Amino acid sequence: MTTEPSNRTIILNLLRGAVPERADEISSLWSQYGHAVEVAPSTKGVTMNADAKRIQFDTKTIDLFWLFGFNAWRAIEVYSPALVLATITGIPLDQALNADTKRGPFELDYKQRIASAQSLILADQTTEISWPADIPEPTSDRESLGDVQHMAAFDLVAFALAFSFLHEFQHVMYCADNSAPSALPEEEIACDTYARDFMTSGLAAYAKKHGHNFAEVQQKRAMGIALAAVIIHAMTPTHAHWGNRKYPPMAERLTAMISGYSLRAGSPFWLFTACLLIALMRQEHRPLDVIANSNQEMVEALLERLR
């Protein structure tokens, strides 16, 4: 007789798989705090929260991560031509976008896909939205996806989810230990920082031990965290983007998650992240008269513009 793994075990295995170099530490903390993992009934809004005793989420929120993750690749297809033109020639990004006469239909398709993903937030169930025909249904079996690009998207979604659950786990530890920062916005930033550091510290020794390229491991983790950042932005109500009693401004959270990596200037991370930020800012109709000489400079400039 086969016993289905508990929700707690499923999330534990996700974290151990996403951050294998700290698997033993994760298991130890998981046992120490003894918190439950609850799958709540899906309903309108987003369910991803924690207290001293449990982490709670719903399957619709997992579907939201999946949709955003698989759509993220299209941001590269839509915005990388203008990004390349802007960084090579030194013209403002908005001028480069206007010069890309082929962008229109691709951007329209991308925006429609993002709107479909965002509509999931307002739905009671995933079945209420039209699932894109070319995006596979969520699965835990990476190899069943077959397509290399789909498997790469799977990896980024797994990292983004791991980041979010580690963020919630820090809330669990703060509550259980009665050690949280006095202000709720500070606690949110601290949880973001904890999750990012947990996923990115100690990578050099892990890469060397297993024969991996350190830069490739680091950039893949960083890309997953950048994806988590834009998903969290989408999950946050518009009226809270500038911060309130509970949450810091979204620009601060995005900066805490995305900036400061020691990746080389030519790393695909900067291209991927710049395209995600351009897409986000185009959706919010923000000015993009930004001049940058590299993708890294573009990311830094766009983060500054979000403030």
Considering the domain boundaries, does residue 117 fall inside one? yes
Considering the domain boundaries, does residue 128 fall inside one? yes
Considering the domain boundaries, does residue 24 fall inside one? no
Q: Is 247 helix (H, G, I), strand (E, B) or coil?
A: coil
**Domains of the chain: total:** 1
Domain that holds residue 198: 62-306
Considering the domain boundaries, does residue 187 fall inside one? yes
Separation of alpha carbons 82 and 95, rounded Å: 9
- Which of 174-188, 196-210, 231-245 has maximum average pLDDT? 174-188
Q: Is 306 helix (H, G, I), strand (E, B) or coil?
A: helix
- CA 240 vs. chain centroid, Å, equals 18
- The residue among 195, 211, 233, 217 whose CA lies nearest residue 269 is 217
Q: Is 38 helix (H, G, I), strand (E, B) or coil?
A: strand
Task: List, for residues 77-119, the tens digit of each pLDDT value.
Answer: 999 999 999 999 999 999 999 999 999 999 999 999 888 889 9
For residue 203, pLDDT beyond 90:
no
> What integer pLDDT is reported at residue 268 of this predicted model?
94
For residue 2, pLDDT beyond 60:
no
Q: Is 37 helix (H, G, I), strand (E, B) or coil?
A: strand
Number of other residues whose CB lies within 10 A of the CB of residue 52: 14
Task: List, for residues 219-249, the tens digit of each pLDDT value.
Answer: 999 999 999 999 999 999 888 899 999 889 9
Amino acid at position 91, single letter: I
Considering the domain boundaries, does residue 171 fall inside one? yes
DSSP letter for each residue of 183-200: SHHHHHHHHHHHHHHHHH
Separation of alpha carbons 24 and 96, rounded Å: 48
Amino acid at position 197, single letter: D
Amino acid at position 43, single letter: T
DSSP letter for each residue of 106-127: HHHHHHHHHHHHHHHHHSSSGG
